[in-house]
Amino acid sequence: MPKLPTRLQRFRTGSPLSFRLLAWILVFSTVFTLIASAIQIYSDYRKELAQIDSRMQVVESGYSSSLAKSLWALDRNLLQTQMEGILSLPDIVHLRLGIEPDSELVMGEIARGADTRSHKFEIFHQGDRKVRLGELTVTADLGRVYQDLKEKVGIILATEFLKTFLVSILIILVFQHFVTRHLTSMANYAKDLSLTNLGTPLTLDRPDTPSHRSDEIGRVTEAINQMRERLNDDMVRQERDAAEIHKFSKAIEQSPSSVVICDRQWRVEFANHKFTQLTGYNAKSIVGRHPGALSDNSAENRDNRILWQSIRLQVQRVGVWQGEVNSIRRNGERFWEQLTVTPIKDSAGEVTGYLILGEDISIRKRFEQQLLRQANYDILTGLPNRMLALDRLKLALAQARREGSMVGVMFLDLDNFKHINDTLGHDAGDSLLIEAARRISSCLRGSSTVARLGGDEFLVILPGLAGPESTSQVAERILATFEPAYALNGQEVFVTTSIGISIFPTDSDNSGTLLQHADAAMYQAKHQGKSSYAHFTPEMSEVSHERLQMESRLRRALELKEFELYFQPIVDTASGKLRAAEALLRWNNPVMGMVMPDRFIPLAEETGLIISIGEWVLEQACSAASGWKEQTGLDIGISVNVSPRQFRDPGFISAVARALSNNNLAPERLELEITERLLLDNSIETAQILKELDRKKVRLSVDDFGTGYSALSYLKSYPFDSLKIDRTFINDVLKEPEDASLVRAIINMAHSLELTVVAEGVESEPQTRFLKKEGCDYSQGYFYSRPLPAEEFSEWLRTNHRTPN
Ligand SMILES: Nc1nc2c(ncn2[C@@H]2O[C@H](COP(=O)(O)O[C@H]3[C@@H](O)[C@H](n4cnc5c(=O)[nH]c(N)nc54)O[C@@H]3COP(=O)(O)O)[C@@H](O)[C@H]2O)c(=O)[nH]1
């Protein structure tokens, strides 16, 4: 088959609209042409008839008088000639002349079946009187008229059809060029449009002019392209959303925390893998259940219900619930988890469900309990330590005040313990302490407390006494229980103890003083000869006197410029490079000599002198740090100890700010060391001061970590930067596996809380190696340098090459 030109092919195959349009144009124009032609032909027909009629009128008007004359004259030949004349007129085919009275003359003929039109008129003689001579009927044949009309109809129809057809084709071609081919392109584009080619815009085969852009096709094209772009954007957004959802669901699924999502009625909808791992409950099996009623054990669920009721109430009221919960696994095992429960809200702020995040804190809890024990109990004997003993003493005094009873305080010191330790060794010394603790405890009632204060010193608290005599009875019982020999290293050893006793309220109503008095009485007992006890008497209060003297000297120490700051380097454990220095206060008193802070800081605290002394320390420490910067060009940090009373003083924050600005020192270079005991009260005031200091960008460090309450939870809630492990742990880190594991745990925990760790009291290279291995960030101790006076420290800086990075 011969190939059609492309345009025609397209026309033939691809454009039904053009065909339909052509058909409709043809139909309409044909009908229109037919109607117009019919009107035209009918009007021509009417015109022809009118011409015939007028011709007959002409015959009547032109021939009636001449015919009358011929009839009057009875001139048959003339009559005939006249009628022949009429018959020669176009279309006139027949004449009938009726002559009065009863003859007629007929001329011409009418073809059979012919369509005719007749006109009749009377002929009169116009003489004196009017005489009717006859009547002429003129008949015209309409055959010619019809023939003409037929020809006309043929021509009109043929020309009109041709015209219409050509115009239609032209219209279609124009329409095809300007419209349908673009519609076809749009249709093909829309047909081929898929998610893979959303990036390709629709373009039409026509110039991109403003007029094209604003016509209907341009607007439809633009609308299609806008739709495509929106689809594309939607697709991109959908893909991004899907990727994000995928990422989040993976993150939730792989989260190290357990994640449970509940609906608004607290029915579990989802639980992640960690949840299953932690609790043993299969995620699918708990869908639809209440998070507090997962177990088949109804007693467990009952206990949980109360907890979850309060969780629900708090989440509704406050918007979050956080707490540590002792949960039960599916197998009945208990474990500690930190739960955080929050509502999930939609964009309108409506609660659509609840999110429960859980973290297994069993190890941390165990560690905290271990630390708590460590902080409150003596590891060797298992007895309460000094801190717990003081707490119990305070409680006993408060109770005695309420009840009006007495409290006995006994200070015990083993006689010759040092000698036994030195000769039989530490292990024998430890065994002796354990046995001594057991024997002392065996002499006491349940409400009494026996504590180990350190070394070979014990404290006994006897609450609720009716009178002082019972203390003597207890003291005698203790002395008696010491009488049997101790078996140490296979040897029988006799050990005695000296006991000092003070009584509340007779000797003092203050716990510290009662202890001091008991201590003084114990020295008295030792002087009396060992294995004896002594009650406190006012003569023994030499110590108190000493204290008064010290207080009055301390009051003038600042004014007399007796204070001096020593500096001890803090180095990077891994590299040994200097990081910072700790400022340590010394008191050079002309009478007492060099007084160490352990002796005068508690007194300064008690008397409030610590506020002005602390301010002086801050000023001097900042001044020294900025001097080092000038001297070495290095940013060496400075750590300053802050005691609780100084910390809570309303002027403390401004004193810090003043010291920094007076010495032009960046706040990040000052680190304030705060003992963990200060945080024990958990007060809002403490939190606010810490927050304010943190806002000022001053670094904050927990000092002596491990000696106080040691709960890690407070580290989380306060803005600390670092933590200092107390030197008692470092001291025994290589000897006591328990200390080593505690130090390791502290370092790991601190790092997990993003705190840097400083180990203090590092005295040997093996300790350094241990700390380096465990990843302890910084170290401080005699191994690197003893605390040095300012000048010597400057010299150390000059000669020591281990400087900050
Ligand atoms: N409120 C303030 N308290 C202060 C200030 N200056 C000191 N102090 C506190 O007094 C406590 C005793 O201090 P000090 O006698 O100076 O002892 C410090 C170091 O000399 C000592 N240390 C350092 N390295 C070692 C070592 O290797 N072995 C060892 N046996 N001792 C070492 O440790 C003390 C540092 O303690 P810390 O502050 O915990 O880092 C002491 O608690 C000071 O806090 C003051 O200005 N204000």
Pick from 722, 724, 760 the residue to mutate for probing ligand 1's pocket: most ligand atoms within 8 Å of its CB: 760
If asked whether residues 260 and 290 sit together in one domain, one would say: yes
Q: Which domain holds residue 105?
A: 13-164
If asked whether residues 696 and 792 sit together in one domain, one would say: yes
pLDDT tens readout for residues 327-356:
889 998 999 999 999 999 999 999 999 999
Task: Give the pLDDT score at 711.
Answer: 63
**CATH code of 51's domain:** 3.30.450
Q: Which amino acid would we find at residue 718?
A: Y
In Å, how far from its chain's centre is CA 531?
69
Domains: count for the chain: 4
In Å, how far from its chain's centre is CA 724?
33
Please tell me the distance between residue 638's alpha carbon and the centre of ligand 1 in angstroms: 14
Which ligand 1 atom sits nearest the alpha carbon of residue 726?
39
**What does the buried/exposed string (b/e) look like for 671-699 if buried means 16 or more CB atoms within 10 Å of the residue's CB?**
bbbbbbebbeeeeeebeebbeebbeeebb
If asked whether residues 489 and 559 sit together in one domain, one would say: no
Which residues are 586's β-sheet partners? Answer: 564
In Å, how far from its chain's centre is CA 218?
45
**CATH code of 781's domain:** 3.20.20.450
If asked whether residues 525 and 579 sit together in one domain, one would say: no
Please tell me the distance between residue 672's alpha carbon and the centre of ligand 1 in angstroms: 13
Please tell me the distance between residue 759's alpha carbon and the centre of ligand 1 in angstroms: 13
Whether 249 is in a domain gets the answer no
Half-sphere exposure at residue 282, Cβ-oriented, CA atoms within 13 angstroms: 2
Task: Give the pLDDT score at 2.
Answer: 43
pLDDT tens readout for residues 111-155:
888 889 899 999 998 888 888 889 999 999 988 888 888 888 788
Name the residue with the closest Cα to ligand 1, atom 16: 584
Task: Give the pLDDT score at 340.
Answer: 94
DSSP H or E segment with residue 279: helix 273-279
Picking from 299, 330, 360, the residue at the C-terminal end of a domain is 360
Picking from 146, 164, 182, the residue at the C-terminal end of a domain is 164
DSSP H or E segment with residue 388: helix 386-403
Nearest residue to 495 via CA among 479, 482, 480, 481: 482
Please tell me the distance between residue 720's alpha carbon and the centre of ligand 1 in angstroms: 20
Please tell me the distance between residue 216's alpha carbon and the centre of ligand 1 in angstroms: 88
If asked whether residues 711 and 594 sit together in one domain, one would say: yes
Low-confidence ranges of the chain (pLDDT < 70): 1-18, 422, 542-544, 680-683, 708-713, 801-805
Whether 469 is in a domain gets the answer yes
How many other C-beta atoms lie within 10 A of the C-beta of residue 6? 8
Burial of 533 by CB count in 10 Å (0-12 exposed, 13-18 middle, 19+ buried)? Answer: buried
pLDDT tens readout for residues 493-539:
889 999 999 999 999 999 989 998 998 899 888 877 778 999 999 87
If asked whether residues 595 and 529 sit together in one domain, one would say: no
Name the residue with the closest Cα to ligand 1, atom 24: 781
Whether 239 is in a domain gets the answer no
Name the residue with the closest Cα to ligand 1, atom 23: 781
**CATH code of 333's domain:** 3.30.450.20
If asked whether residues 315 and 268 sit together in one domain, one would say: yes
If asked whether residues 525 and 495 sit together in one domain, one would say: yes
If asked whether residues 530 and 588 sit together in one domain, one would say: no
Please tell me the distance between residue 584's alpha carbon and the centre of ligand 1 in angstroms: 6
Name the residue with the closest Cα to ligand 1, atom 4: 641
Picking from 522, 540, 558, the residue at the C-terminal end of a domain is 540
Task: Give the pLDDT score at 661.
Answer: 97
Please tell me the distance between residue 551's alpha carbon and the centre of ligand 1 in angstroms: 21
Please tell me the distance between residue 686's alpha carbon and the centre of ligand 1 in angstroms: 23
Name the residue with the closest Cα to ligand 1, atom 47: 641
On whether the pTM is more than 0.80, the answer is: no
If asked whether residues 728 and 709 sit together in one domain, one would say: yes
In angstroms, the CA 621 to CA 629 distance is: 13
- The residue whose two tokens read 């009716």 is 466
Name the residue with the closest Cα to ligand 1, atom 7: 584
Please tell me the distance between residue 221's alpha carbon and the centre of ligand 1 in angstroms: 82
If asked whether residues 573 and 497 sit together in one domain, one would say: no
Name the residue with the closest Cα to ligand 1, atom 29: 761
**CATH code of 397's domain:** 3.30.70.270
If asked whether residues 676 and 578 sit together in one domain, one would say: yes
**Ligand 1, CB within 6 Å, residue ranges:** 568, 582, 584-585, 596-598, 601, 617, 641-643, 673, 703-704, 724, 727, 760-763, 780-782, 787
466-470-476 Cα angle (round to 5) = 175
Please tell me the distance between residue 761's alpha carbon and the centre of ligand 1 in angstroms: 9
Measuring CA to CA, how many Å separate 332 from each of 9, 287, 289, 300?
83, 20, 18, 10
Nearest residue to 66 via CA among 79, 77, 54, 53: 79
Which ligand 1 atom sits nearest the alpha carbon of residue 763?
27
The predicted complex's ipTM stands at: 0.94
